[in-house]
Structure 1
């Protein structure tokens, strides 16, 4: 049996591990808690999770897959947006969790089935992985700020 190329295996581990970290960090968080803006202005957990999904859609698109949501409708989660100014547009945390799972299912299915990455996508794929790591760590800090025990042991 032929093994996958190293780059696909590395991305597969990143995608599976990031999802585990994100899931642990958002576990037991209510919608109300997800809407808390630390210091009255730092990004809330709801926006960070929505933003992760927003960028995951671009990741899916680069891999030739459809987005899990309409980027126009969810534009409040785009990079550069100011969540505090658009907080009325943020959707329920449970809805975000559902979109997270949909994006994960699509990413995993694609990465498991793919033969190789197009060379021109490698840079973007590496940045997508970094993006997930960066924001999943923020979710961990927000969890502690909300008074919850750390999820990563």
Structure 2
């Protein structure tokens, strides 16, 4: 009987845990709150969640899955985009939450079936996990900036 490799198990725990942290940090955030730019310039929660999803789609593609959205249509969430200059392109927070759920469903379904990763993708997968950790923490900090109680106790 073949056992799954440690790397796939570590990635599964990170993907499942990050999702829970993201959900906790965006819980109760309204569309209006998601569009608040701290200091009039720092990225808003809407952009951070959309950006997290933009990169998560690349994660899905690295695992051989299809993206949950059209990257060109959602390019306002790409790395290097300046959300303040592209406010009219940002979609609603509810729409982003829907894409988050879809991406999680796809990631979980795929990760459950993978016994090992292609060695050429290990570095990318590690960076994708780091990326999610980084931005899920930003969502937690922004939650506090918006005057909400911290979600992670």
User: Structure 2 length normalisation: TM-score?
Assistant: 0.98
- Give runs of aligned pairs for residues 1-150 of structure 1, distance below 5 A: 2-150=2-150
Contact 2:3 2:115 in 1 (8 A): no
RMSD value over aligned CA atoms? 0.7
Residue 2 of structure 1: how far off its partner (Å)? 4.1
Distance 2:13 2:131 in 1: 15
User: Which runs of 5 or more residues in structure 2 are unaligned?
Assistant: none
Count of aligned residue pairs for this structure pair: 153
Aligned to 2:16, what secondary structure does the other structure show?
Answer: helix
Q: Deviations over 1:99-134 (max 9, x none)?
A: 000000000000001121000000000000000000
Residue 4 of structure 1: how far off its partner (Å)? 1.5
Aligned to 2:68, what secondary structure does the other structure show?
Answer: coil
User: Which runs of 5 or more residues in structure 1 are unaligned?
Assistant: none
Distance 1:90 1:10 in 2: 33
Moved segments of 4+, more than 4 Å? none
